[in-house]
Amino acid sequence: MDINRGLATHSMAARIIREYQERGKHSGVFAEWFSIDPPFPDGIFGDEKIVRGAYCNGGIMPLVGGELARAAFEHGCEAYGVEQLLKYEKLTANNESYLWYFPNGQHATEETSTSPEAIPTDGWGSSAMLYALIEGLAGVVDTDRLFRRVRLSPRWESARSESAEVSVAYGPSGASFAYSYAHDKGKKVIELDLRGKSLVELHLLLPPGLKARSLRYNGRSIRFSHGRVEGSSYLDAQMELKKKGKVVVAYE
């Protein structure tokens, strides 16, 4: 949360993410979404339910996993972000989502809950994972209101997806933003079809180690620049979207 709310520099964020990766490798848990690590010893607070791995004493929380994935997408660990989303997809394959899990994968129950205010199926974790999916992988961030200004960072390359359809909207106002993504690896071209009314700040993840050769928006060449986030290559550009817009990026 500190990373995603701007309290950590990029250097700090990268080090925090690497620490989660390291602990995930050596802790033996199914996902490194720790509520706290290491946990307090069993019974230290005088409550027999507060054991290691339960709820906020070392439980595995999708709430943490979603924030971790969102941070990973933003700070050059995109494949790691995808990995967290796929873990959650597998975890919810039976259409059930839980607030927390024991490190061995057992989900929370009313009997094991240590908080009378939190039910086992609370949706905090689901909302965090949705946050990571929309703003991280799909890369749609409303930086103003009603999608008047959008930071668009499609990161489908990190998921090895050659096509995607994305549509997000606010229910009360009906304001929306949508795009389709198509990557033709043979032609070395990425196309985006945008729909909405926004000032779009494009931050497009490119294939590893490659650079854009040209960028056309509605048939016209426009200026762009290259950037790197850790080992990831991005194309950056800005464009005015009035209703529909077509972006064509050729890379080499």
Q: Which two tokens stand for residue 252?
A: 């080499």
Query: CA nearest 84: which of 109, 112, 100, 63?
Result: 63
Q: Which of 132, 164, 189 is the last residue of a domain?
A: 132
Cα–Cα distances (Å) from 232 to 61, 199, 237, 239, in that order, read 28, 24, 16, 22
Together in a domain, 153 and 236: yes
Within a domain: 3: no
Q: Which of 132, 148, 167 is the last residue of a domain?
A: 132
Q: Examine the pLDDT at 43 and tell me if it is beyond 90.
A: no
The 8-class DSSP code of residue 23 comes to H
Within a domain: 1: no
Together in a domain, 105 and 70: yes
How far apart CA 42 and CA 49 sit, in angstroms, is 8
Q: Which two tokens stand for residue 48?
A: 């027999």
Number of domains the chain contains:
2
Together in a domain, 108 and 188: no
Within a domain: 126: yes
How far apart CA 118 and CA 93 sit, in angstroms, is 23
Helix (H, G, I), strand (E, B) or coil at 227: strand
What CATH number should be reported for the domain holding residue 190?
Answer: 2.60.40.1180
Instruction: Quickly list H helices, 105-186.
Output: 124-131
Together in a domain, 77 and 181: no
* Residues of the domain holding 39: 10-132
Within a domain: 5: no
- Averaged pLDDT, 190-212: 97
Q: Which of 132, 159, 175 is the last residue of a domain?
A: 132
Together in a domain, 121 and 146: no
What does the pLDDT read at residue 66? 98
The average confidence (pLDDT) of the chain is 96
Within a domain: 2: no
HSE (side-chain half, CA atoms, 13 Å) at 195: 11
Within a domain: 113: yes
State pLDDT tens for residues 109-141: 999 988 888 899 999 999 999 999 999 999 999
Q: Examine the pLDDT at 44 and tell me if it is beyond 90.
A: no
Give backbone dihedrals phi and psi of 192, rounded to 5 degrees, phi first. -125, 130
Together in a domain, 17 and 127: yes
Q: Which two tokens stand for residue 160?
A: 């090895």
- Averaged pLDDT, 2-12: 97
State pLDDT tens for residues 157-176: 999 999 999 999 999 999 99
What does the pLDDT read at residue 25? 93
3-state DSSP percent of the chain in helix, strand and coil, to 5: 25, 30, 45
How far apart CA 30 and CA 50 sit, in angstroms, is 20
Please give the model's pTM, rounded to 2 decimal places.
Answer: 0.95
Q: Are 75 and 136 in contact (CB under 8 A)?
A: no
